[in-house]
Structure formats: structure tokens, C-alpha cells
Amino acid sequence: MVAIRDLALEYQQVAGGASGPIRVPAVSDISCQLRTAAISAIVGPSGCGKTSIIQAIAGLLVPASGDISIDGIPVRGVRPRTAVIFQDFGLLPWRTVEGNAELPLVLAGTRRARVRRAERRRRVDPVLDELGLSAFRGFYPAGLSGGMKQRVAIARALVSEPDVLLMDEPFSSLDALTREAAQEFLLQVRRSRPLTILLVTHSIEEAVYLAETIFVMQGRNPGTIRKRFDICENRLESRFAIGTGDVQDFRSSPRYLELCGSIRAALRESGGTDDGAAE
């Protein structure tokens, strides 16, 4: 379980004049728990600090106060079994599909004993096969569609055999149909592994379709969690019996529309419309 307690985050911003960088609060009073092997989502307007929370859980941002723990162990820096998929996928343009997918193993090799190429292939090949990327292993990201790039980003995340997967607006740059396919793909990946997933998104519909717990954020500098929604239809037990059952399309049900409406209302009440402020 990922537990966040009284979290406050700050970032440095360069101010005009000679005053130098100033510390700007990103989020404050964030307390929540992400259930093990469940998909949780954070929705909120731009600038409310969603990405900062992802960075803090990933160990890329040190909290100003409060703490984060995963399975009871405090997060102090990057954790090998936490994978992150960034909004623009974060693929290295100069590495092929295979090169990007094996990067966690290459980096692990530089920290400890070198991971041999045969061992890397043994771990990367099944993931590329599973994600339908084997035929594209020699391609560079520039030659791939948005959906394929996203699969490569997921492949890279899965190669490190994570137990926590953090996704920052992972589908935002995809067109509507590719986005739906990518959502199904994420569910499929989740069905095959007991991953704890945190999804940050602007899309209420996406969050309601995928997550069993949704945290609605409000405010800006600092942002806070305003409300929590639990969606029993998406719960682990009913949806993700690993290795069995189909994913029911929840999107056509009245309950889905009702939940979307409630979350939209919560966002509106908190003044959560996007005025274009930077995240």
C-alpha cells in the first residue's frame, strides 16, 4: 500500500529581479492511501500539483513536510520497483524500442554488477512480445505512432518488474480512439500483474472508467485533495480477478454518468477550471 501523510511539496521558481529563486508551495495537507493492486486516480485542474505528487512518490521530489511510504517503508529517493510513465512518455529518441525497454536493466547494471545482454534479452523479449512490440524492436521512437510510443513506455516500466506504477497524464497526447485502446490495454496489463497504479489525469471520464478510487484536487499553489470517490464497480474483486473474466464496459451504465457528473460538480465547486496555469 502507498500511504501519504500530511504531505507538503514545494518547487523553486526563478523570480524577476535580483531576488533569486523563490520557493512556491505546490501541494499541502495531502493525506491518502492507495490500495495495493488497485488503480487510483487523481483528477484536478492544471497547476493543482498532481504531477508534483507523482514526482514525490517516485522519489524525484523531496517533501517539504509529511511523508510517503510504500508497504510501510518510507520513500527516500528513487525506488527500484516504482515505475513512472510520463505525459510525453519520456522515451529517449536515440534508443530503439528495445534500447528504451531495456534501459532499467542497463542502469541497474551500472549500479551493481553488469546485466549481460543475454539476461537483458531474456527479460525484455517476453514484455515486447506481450505488448506487441517485437516487430518494432529496432525502430526509433520518431518512427512510431503515439499509441506505440505509449506501449514502449509501458514496456520500459514493466521490464523493471514494478509493484507500483505511476502514470502522469499517460493518454493525454493520444487521439480519442487510440486513447480508448490504450485504456483497455492498461486494464489488460493490470489483469496480468498485481500492480498498484496511480493515474493522474485531466479526464474525468478516464478516471471513472479506470480507477476504483478517485481523489479530486482543488486550489493552486498549494493544491489540496478536496474529495474522494470510491467506485465499487471498478474494485479489484469485481473487475480484476487475475487471469479470469472479461472487463465489463462500465461506460454505458447510468452509474458511470452519475459519477462523472458528481466529480465534475466537485471540480466546479472548487473553482477547478483550467485557466491555463502551468502544472
Partner 1 sequence: MKHGACAGLRKLRGILIALVMIAALWETASRLLARPFLPGPGLAIGALVRLVTSGTLAVHAGASLGRVLWALAISFLPAAALGLAAGRSRRADAFVSPFIYIVHPLPKVAFLPIIMLVFGLGELSKIVLVGIIIFSQILVSARDSARRVPRHLIDSVRSLGATRLDLAIRVVVPATLPDLLTSLRVSLGTAIAVLFLAETFATETGLGYLIVDAWSRIDYPEMYAAIMALSLLGLALFIVVDGAERLLCPWRLERS
* Radius of gyration of the chain, Cα coordinates, nearest whole angstrom: 19
Euclidean distance between CA atoms 236 and 242, whole angstroms: 9
Length, in residues, of the chain: 279
With contacts defined by CB under 8 A, name the span among 64-72, 99-107, 119-127, 206-214 that binds partner 1: 99-107
Which residue from 14, 73, 118, 142 is in contact with partner 1, where contact means CB under 8 A?
142
Is the separation of the CB atoms in 242 and 192 below 8 Å? yes
Which residue from 64, 140, 180, 187 is in contact with partner 1, where contact means CB under 8 A?
140
Strand (E) positions, the chain? 2-14, 21-34, 39-43, 65-70, 73-74, 82-85, 164-168, 196-201, 213-219, 223-230
Nearer to partner 1, 55 or 203 (CB): 55
| Least separation in angstroms between CB 128 and partner 1 | 17
Using rule CB under 8 A, residue 87 touches partner 1? yes
Euclidean distance between CA atoms 165 and 205, whole angstroms: 20
Residue type, 151: R
Using rule CB under 8 A, residue 107 touches partner 1? yes
Q: Cell for 39?
A: 488503480
Is the separation of the CB atoms in 229 and 259 below 8 Å? yes
Angle (CA) 11 208 67, round 5°: 35
Give every CB contact of residue 117 below 8 A, 6+ residues apart in sequence: none
Is the separation of the CB atoms in 144 and 88 below 8 Å? no
With contacts defined by CB under 8 A, name the span among 9-17, 32-40, 100-108, 223-231 that binds partner 1: 100-108
Using rule CB under 8 A, residue 196 touches partner 1? no
Using rule CB under 8 A, residue 20 touches partner 1? no
Nearer to partner 1, 81 or 251 (CB): 81
Using rule CB under 8 A, residue 19 touches partner 1? no
Nearer to partner 1, 148 or 259 (CB): 148
Which string of x and - marks every residue 44-83 that binds partner 1 (by CB under 8 A)? -----------x--xxx-----------------x-x-xx
Using rule CB under 8 A, residue 250 touches partner 1? no
With contacts defined by CB under 8 A, name the span among 90-98, 202-210, 221-229, 271-279 that binds partner 1: 90-98
Q: Cell for 45?
A: 485542474
| Least separation in angstroms between CB 129 and partner 1 | 22
Which residue stretches of the chain are H helix? Answer: 50-57, 97-101, 103-111, 117-130, 146-159, 176-192, 204-210, 236-239, 254-269
Which residue from 16, 20, 74, 93 is in contact with partner 1, where contact means CB under 8 A?
93
| Among 44, 8, 74, CA closest to 200 | 44
Nearer to partner 1, 94 or 116 (CB): 94
Residues 152-181 contacting partner 1, CB under 8 A: 156, 160
Using rule CB under 8 A, residue 242 touches partner 1? no
Q: Which residues bind to partner 1, rule: CB under 8 A?
A: 55, 58-60, 78, 80, 82-84, 86-94, 103-104, 106-108, 110-111, 139-143, 156, 160
